Structure 1
Amino acid sequence: MTAITFDTHEFIKTLVASGIPDAQAEAISRAFRDARHQAEVATKSDLRELEYRLTLRIGALIATAVLIITALDKLL
């Protein structure tokens, strides 16, 4: 997965500029950072790769099914 950068210093500065006390802004920043680290977020690139792999698998399954049906048709 691709890492998403986040400027915690700029985030804290924005919170402080809006009137939130320094200590509270830092706590919010830490909580937000921790939540982001715990979440596994899929990027658009991750989804494209998954779609490609699924397309290949489905194609392989269809090809296998066609071969099996053809073989059964010849036997029966």
Structure 2
Amino acid sequence: MTTIPFDTLKLAERLQAGGFTPEQARTAASALAEAMTGAELPTKSDLSAMEARLDGRIATSIADAKSDLLRWMVPLLLGQAALIAALVKLL
């Protein structure tokens, strides 16, 4: 993970130009810099690794759903066939 370099002086100057008092501008720039340096941003390799893990989880979930579906459908289809056979025999 990486952090973003951040120019607090430049931000404070822009905030002052926009109408902030010098104290407000310094405080806002300092707070934003602290928030941005405290949080680490993911790199492309971090995102690729996360994508691979999610792909594995999704594939597993799909396989589980398919097996559950087959576990329910096969007995139902056999029961339906038996019911149809019994009805045909009665007619």
TM bucket normalised to smaller? 0.5 to 0.7
1:9 aligns with 2:5: no
| RMSD (Å) for aligned C-alpha atoms | 2.4
Given the superposition, is the C-alpha separation of residues 39 and 2 from structure 1 closer, same or farther in structure 2, using an over 3 Å criterion? Answer: closer
Report runs of 4+ in structure 1 exceeding 4 Å deviation.
none
TM-score (norm 2): 0.48
1-structure distance, mates of 2:39, 2:3: 12
1:21 is aligned to 21
Residues 1-30 of structure 1: CA deviation (Å, up to 9, x unaligned): 122121111111110111111111000111
2-structure distance, mates of 1:2, 1:40: 6
Structure having the higher Rg:
2
1-structure distance, mates of 2:14, 2:51: 38
TM-score (norm 1): 0.56
